[in-house]
Amino acid sequence: MSNYSKQKFLSPAELGGFIVLAILLFVVLPLSVDDFRLNLIGKYLSYSFVAMGLVLCWGYGGILSLGQGVFFGIGGYCMAMFLKLEASSVENTAIQSTPGIPDFMDWNQLTELPWFWEPFNSLGLSLIAVILVPGLFAFLIGLAMFKRRVGGVYFAIITQAVAAILTILIVGSQGMTGGINGITDLRTLLGWDIRTDEAKVILYFVCVTFVFICLFLCQFVLRSKLGRLLVAVRDTEERVRFSGYNVDNFKIFIFTFAAMLSAIGGALFTLQVGFMSPSFVGIVPSIEMVIFCAVGGRLSLLGAVYGALAVNFAKTTLSEAIPELWLFALGGMFIAVVSIFPNGLMGLYNTYISAPVNRFYHAAVRFINKDKPVETLSEPLSEPESESTLGAK
Tell me the closest approach of the beta carbon of residue 351 to other proteins, in angstroms. 17
Of 137-145, 151-159, 241-249, 352-360: span binding other proteins (CB under 8 A): 241-249
- Total Cβ atoms within 10 A of residue 194: 18
Contact map string, positions 253 to 272, toward other proteins, x by CB under 8 A: x-------------------
Tell me the HSE value of 126 on the side-chain side, using a 13 A CA sphere: 23
Of 110-118, 243-251, 302-310, 312-320: span binding other proteins (CB under 8 A): 243-251
Question: Total binding residues for other proteins by CB under 8 A?
Answer: 35
**Cα separations in angstroms, 327 against 217, 313, 346, 392:** 33, 14, 23, 27
313 burial type by CB count under 10 A (0-12 exposed, 13-18 middle, 19+ buried): middle
Tell me the closest approach of the beta carbon of residue 372 to other proteins, in angstroms. 26
- Residue (196 or 246) nearer to other proteins, CB: 246
Tell me the closest approach of the beta carbon of residue 267 to other proteins, in angstroms. 24
Torsion angles phi and psi, residue 321, rounded to 5: -85, -65
Give yes or no for residue 389 binding other proteins (CB under 8 A). yes
| Sequence-ordered alpha helix ranges (H) in 88-151 | 103-107, 123-146
Q: How wide is the angle at C-alpha 377 spanned by C-alphas 376 and 382, nearest 5°?
A: 115
Rule CB under 8 A: choose which of 97, 243, 317, 376 binds other proteins: 243
Under 8 Å between Cβ of 387 and 351? yes
Dihedral (Cα; 278, 205, 288, 77), 10-degree rounding: -20
Tell me the closest approach of the beta carbon of residue 242 to other proteins, in angstroms. 5
- Residue (270 or 350) nearer to other proteins, CB: 350
Contact map string, positions 1 to 20, toward other proteins, x by CB under 8 A: xxxxx-x-------------
Tell me the closest approach of the beta carbon of residue 219 to other proteins, in angstroms. 13
**Cα separations in angstroms, 147 against 144, 188, 248:** 6, 43, 6
Contact map string, positions 192 to 231, toward other proteins, x by CB under 8 A: -----------------------------x--xxx-xx-x
- Residue (93 or 386) nearer to other proteins, CB: 386
Distance in angstroms (rounded) separating the CA atoms of residues 87 and 85:
5
Rule CB under 8 A: choose which of 158, 232, 283, 348 binds other proteins: 232
| Sequence-ordered alpha helix ranges (H) in 147-246 | 152-172, 174-177, 197-223, 225-241
Of 14-22, 200-208, 249-257, 300-308: span binding other proteins (CB under 8 A): 249-257
Tell me the closest approach of the beta carbon of residue 221 to other proteins, in angstroms. 7
- Residue (286 or 386) nearer to other proteins, CB: 386
Distance in angstroms (rounded) separating the CA atoms of residues 383 and 88:
57
**Cα separations in angstroms, 293 against 128, 167, 210, 240, 346:** 26, 22, 18, 26, 11
- Residue (37 or 241) nearer to other proteins, CB: 241
Distance in angstroms (rounded) separating the CA atoms of residues 151 and 89:
47
Of 11-19, 68-76, 232-240, 369-377: span binding other proteins (CB under 8 A): 232-240
Contact map string, positions 60 to 89, toward other proteins, x by CB under 8 A: ------------------------------
Under 8 Å between Cβ of 87 and 192? no
Residue ranges binding other proteins (CB under 8 A): 1-5, 7, 221, 224-226, 228-229, 231-232, 234-236, 238-247, 249-250, 253, 388-391, 393
